[in-house]
Amino acid sequence: MKSTVSEKDIAVLREKAKTLRIEILKMLTEAGSGHTGGSLSAADIVTALYFYKMRHRPDDPKWIERDRFILSKGHAAPVLYAALALSGYFDKTLLGTLRKLGSPLQGHPCSRKLPGIEISTGSLGQGLSIANGIAIGLKLDKLSSRVYCLLGDGEIQEGQVWEAAMTASHYKLDNLCAIIDNNGLQIDGHCCDVMCVEPIVNKWAAFGWHVLDINGHDMEAIVSALNEAEILKGKPTMIVARTVKGKGVSFFEGKVEYHGLAPTHEELERALKELKG
Amino acid sequence: MGERKEKSEQGKQSIEKKPIATRDAYGEALHELGKKRQDIVVLDADLSGSTKTGKFAKAFPERFFNIGVSEQDLIGTAGGLSLTGKLPFASTFAVFETGRAWEQIRQTVCYSNLNVKLVATHSGITVGEDGASHQAIEDVAIMRVLPNMTVIVPADGIETKQVINAIADYNGPVYVRLGRSKVPVVMPDDYDFKIGKAHTFHLGKDANIVAMGIMVTASLEASKILKNECLDVGVINMSTVKPLDTETVLNASKICRLIVTAEEHSTISGLGGAVSEFLSETNPTRIIRIGIKDDFGCSGTSEELLKLYGLTAENIVKTIKEGLK
Ligand SMILES: Cc1ncc(C[n+]2csc(CCOP(=O)(O)OP(=O)(O)O)c2C)c(N)n1
Ligand SMILES: [Mg+2]
């Protein structure tokens, strides 16, 4: 399917994703701890959601007709915080308080403390069930809002994900679109070495989902996939987004050790130079 | 979760007395045990670097099984291995091990009384910046309530090593609760850990503190401070929370006016709960439970959080002085 957005809009989104990456790196360096790799790999997807696809009102976070986003891989909190701040949910200066005592920007997203967070996450494998519940609730209320849920590829090793996979297709939740940040890495190494999750596409298809297999850093492909998911009726859609962990900073890319390491100040400087190019 | 490699510290203290995280002591003990015993198998859920089972994995790859991010499967697989006569140690973070897989632990491990060792790390609020989702402060409560389960919370690295050896020789389900951060060595050189036996540093005539884990260190400090204020406050390391060393608790309660429990855990149903349940039926005593008061943790450095939740020597001192008024 052809994307309906202009090349100019795509260019703007790409620029936005870069800004997100810069904010992610800055807040993580300031925090001194946190998850760099999985925040960067999801930056393009989250940009497309918050700045292109989702209907939401930063000045009215509980707007009843909003689309919902569930960050099931909660450790990627920085990418969500950056998207929320740049959307205008809260002041950008708050990003500098990430992971610090008293901050609403907890190590993992906390819905009680920060506007725009639909549900607290951080324990992997729970988000898709929640997304299903919201999708069913929206249908009951005859609302046309859509639900987006971002999962990690290591995360889908959790059994609950596959329970939720059945529920979504059983209830024909076509107002649900899940996305896997398929960066090939988890904490202990490559997913294929730790606990093989392939063939991902066939698995989701076998569970009754409409599956789209895309390059998760190609903004045009992400936008088209999100649009296709919205049109498709009778099934939930899974976008398998092939990504690179640490994307955007050459010395973090594909490096398993940067799963849970924040950049040092020196690394930040080098990274910003690369990004600002 | 990730850690940069530390530069080697040059301290005056001997290797043995250097502060060490209990999880590091676990990694070493498990590695040693693996050399001695062929029946030991180790399972982890994508956290072998953090739980320190990675050391065993590297030495004995054929006896190490990474189950991936799937804690329920981790426990079930460990259960199955024990049915073939293996001695499985299953590790991940305390929150996920005890919480996510609780019913698997209940049904598969405890109900059938399987010889499975659950050794979890990153317990309590000293997990720090990761925040509430990763801070297990209910784990002792939900493990303690299970029939057949033994629950052990070592105070330091030395005790951890002894605990790991002791539970390998014991037949039945055991939960061992370990921490992320470095802790000073507090147990004496001649210490000899036995399951179900508390260690009494000394008994006090005014009050006695029953502590577990990192709170043993804070309690010893508090006792020292109180001594200067002419209060005789004893300290007991109740590293086996279940079965509780009831004899030690009863004796302590008989010689003083106040029992204080101290734990990096909810005050509901943890160590404070266990001591209160026992004493209320045998020798009703005034008890004050120090711990986290029906709340979740949050992000912050471990020092900040210990202060915020009152898990410091200063707060123990204050609590005891008020309690003895
Ligand atoms: C239930 C649960 N188990 C374990 C963890 C610890 N953990 C945090 S991230 C992670 C690896 C996740 O890998 P993946 O989903 O691929 O994330 P990404 O590569 O996108 O960062 C693990 C095991 C957790 N947060 N929750
Ligand atoms: Mg991954």
**0.90 surpassed by complex ipTM:** yes
B-contacting residues in A 197-256 (Cβ below 8 Å): none
Task: Locate B222 and state its tokens.
Answer: 């508090």
Interface membership of B2 toward A (CB under 8 Å) = yes
Q: Report the run of H or E that residue A205 belongs to, with start and end.
A: helix A200-206
Residues 6+ apart with CB under 8 A from B88: B40, B41, B42, B43, B77, B78, B79, B81, B82, B115, B116, B117
- The pLDDT value given to residue B20: 97
| DSSP 8-state class, residue B109 | I
Find the ligand nearest to A157 CA: 1
Task: Determine which of A39, A157, A163 to mutate to test the interface with B (most B C-beta atoms within 10 Å).
Answer: A157
CB distance B123 to B311 below 8 Å: no
What is the C-alpha separation between A78 and A61, in angstroms, rounded? 19
- One fold for both B11-183 and B199-323? yes
Q: Which domains does chain A have, with CATH numbers?
A: 7-276 (3.40.50.970)
What is the C-alpha separation between B27 and B126, in angstroms, rounded? 19
Residues 6+ apart with CB under 8 A from B284: none
pTM of the model: 0.96
CB distance B232 to B265 below 8 Å: no
Which of A102, A157, A258 lies closest to B68 in CB terms?
Answer: A157
Instruction: Categorise residue A142: left if φ over 0, alpha if ψ from -120 to 50, beta otherwise.
Output: left
- C-beta contacts of B101-105 below 8 A and 24+ residues apart: B101/B71, B101/B72, B101/B74, B101/B75, B102/B142, B104/B72, B104/B75, B104/B76, B104/B79, B105/B75, B105/B143, B105/B146, B105/B149, B105/B173
Candidates A117, A115, A50; CA nearest to A77 is: A117
Provide Rg for chain A, Cα atoms. Answer: 17
Q: Is B164 in a helix, a strand, or coil?
A: helix
Pairwise CB contact (< 8 Å): A261 & B4:
yes
Q: Report the run of H or E that residue A163 belongs to, with start and end.
A: helix A159-170
CB atoms within 10 A of CB B141: 20
Task: Determine which of A106, A121, A193, A200 to mutate to test the interface with B (most B C-beta atoms within 10 Å).
Answer: A106
Candidates A180, A219, A183, A225; CA nearest to A47 is: A219
**Ligand 1 atom closest to Cα of A185?**
19
**Neighbouring C-alpha atoms within 13 Å toward the C-beta of B242:** 26
Distance from CA of B290 to the nearest CA of A (A): 21
Distance from CA of B61 to the nearest CA of A (A): 12
Q: Report the run of H or E that residue B189 belongs to, with start and end.
A: none
Q: Residue A275: what residue type?
A: L
- The pLDDT value given to residue A277: 85
Q: Report the run of H or E that residue B208 belongs to, with start and end.
A: strand B207-211
CA angle, B243 as apex, B120 and B198 as ends, to 5°? 90
**Ligand 1 atom closest to Cα of A155?**
15
- The pLDDT value given to residue B3: 64
Give the pocket of ligand 1 (CB within 6 Å).
Answer: A 37-38, 41, 73, 75, 122-125, 152-155, 181, 183, 185-187, 245, 259; B 46-47, 69, 96, 100
**Ligand 1 atom closest to Cα of A186?**
13
Is CATH 3.40.50.920 what the domain over B199-323 is classified as, yes or no?
Answer: yes
What is the C-alpha separation between A149 and B149, in angstroms, rounded? 38
A to B CB pairs, distance under 8 Å? 108
- CA B96–ligand 1 middle distance (angstroms): 11
- Strands of chain A (E only): list them: 68-71, 147-152, 176-182, 210-215, 237-242
- The pLDDT value given to residue B279: 98
Active site residues of B: 71
- The pLDDT value given to residue B17: 81
Give, using CA atoms, the residue closest to atom 9 of ligand 1: A75
What is the C-alpha separation between B22 and B37, in angstroms, rounded? 22
A-contacting residues in B 29-88 (Cβ below 8 Å): 44, 46-50, 54, 66-70, 72-73
Instruction: Categorise residue B113: left if φ over 0, alpha if ψ from -120 to 50, beta otherwise.
Output: left
- CA A184–ligand 1 middle distance (angstroms): 12
- The pLDDT value given to residue B5: 56
A42 to A221, B68, B280: CA distances (angstroms):
14, 21, 54
Beta-bridge mates of residue B118 = B90, B175
- The pLDDT value given to residue B67: 98
Q: What are the residue boundaries of the structural domains of chain B, listed by start?
A: 11-183, 199-323
Pairwise CB contact (< 8 Å): A257 & B134:
no
Q: Are strands B182-183 and B20-21 parallel, antiparallel or unpaired?
A: antiparallel
Helices (H), chain B: 22-36, 48-51, 54-59, 71-83, 94, 102-104, 139-144, 157-168, 215-228, 246-255, 271-282, 302-308, 313-324
Residues 6+ apart with CB under 8 A from B86: B39, B40, B41
Interface membership of A260 toward B (CB under 8 Å) = yes
Pairwise CB contact (< 8 Å): A103 & B305:
no
The best mutation among A35, A36, A73, A156 to test binding of ligand 1, ranked by most ligand atoms within 8 Å of the C-beta, falls on A73
Pairwise CB contact (< 8 Å): A194 & B130:
no
Specify the residue for token string 């960050």.
A71
What is the C-alpha separation between B138 and A245, in angstroms, rounded? 33
Average confidence (pLDDT) per 10 residues, chain A, 277 residues: 78 98 98 98 99 98 98 98 98 98 98 98 98 98 98 98 98 98 98 98 98 98 98 98 98 98 98 95
Which of A31, A110, A158 lies closest to B129 in CB terms?
Answer: A31
Q: Residue A83: what residue type?
A: A
- The distance of Cα A166 from the centroid of its chain, to the nearest Å, equals 21
Name the residue in chain B with its Cα closest to that of A100: B300
Q: Residue B233: what residue type?
A: V
Task: Determine which of A35, A73, A185, A188 to mutate to test the interface with B (most B C-beta atoms within 10 Å).
Answer: A188
Q: pLDDT of chain B along its 325 residues, tens only?
A: 566 655 444 444 445 589 999 999 999 999 999 999 999 999 999 999 999 999 999 999 999 999 999 999 999 999 999 999 999 999 999 999 999 999 999 999 999 999 999 999 999 999 999 999 999 999 999 999 999 999 999 999 999 999 999 999 999 999 999 999 999 999 999 999 999 999 999 999 999 999 999 999 999 999 999 999 999 999 999 999 999 999 999 999 999 999 999 999 999 999 999 999 999 999 999 999 999 999 999 999 999 999 999 999 999 999 999 999 9
CATH numeric code, B11-183: 3.40.50.970
